Amino acid sequence: MIRVDDRLIHGQVALLWTKELQIDRIIVANDLAAKNDIQKNALHLAAPTGVKVAVVPVSHAVKMANDPRAKALKILIVVNNVSDLLTLTTGIAEPGKVDIANVGRVQGGLKDKRKLSDTVYLSDADIDKVKQIAAQTDNLVYQPLPSDTATPFLKLLEGNKRYM
């Protein structure tokens, strides 16, 4: 699964999603975090015991996901923006479930973004990228928590016809 979450690894990802999906690897695909030792250490500390974490540039995450050895692992890839998600879904041969769950609030600029749900705020450029992603996968969803029903992400856009 690939998840878009402003906060990368935090309680929901670390505890709920890793348990629900029985994850043994988390790949944080983020160019800035990969260069920041303090942030890398914090992300490693946020992960549950027994789950290996790699904080890598987005291009390296694509290579890791496409490595034949990855098929034997239960991997959660986490990004914090739609641009990086597009890079991943374009580059990964079989991206699987793609969850845009929590994005657009932490990085600011809310006045230039559209509220699609309580946890998703996207710019017009992000919405265009989401449409490209939707063309690449049939499993693009909005599911903030494992206990929530996965909603096809395009339904969030259809709820407001001006985005389609």
Token representation of residue 29: 């695909």
Other Cβ atoms within 10 Å of 91 Cβ, number? 15
* Helix/strand/coil for 36: coil
Contact 54, 47 (CB under 8 A): no
Q: Which amino acid is at 131?
A: K
- Using a 10 angstrom Cβ sphere, with 0-12 exposed, 13-18 middle and 19 or more buried, the burial of residue 71 is exposed
Known catalytic residues are 10
Q: For residues 78 and 84, give the distance between their C-alpha atoms in angstroms, rounded to a whole number.
A: 10
Q: For residues 143 and 146, give the distance between their C-alpha atoms in angstroms, rounded to a whole number.
A: 7
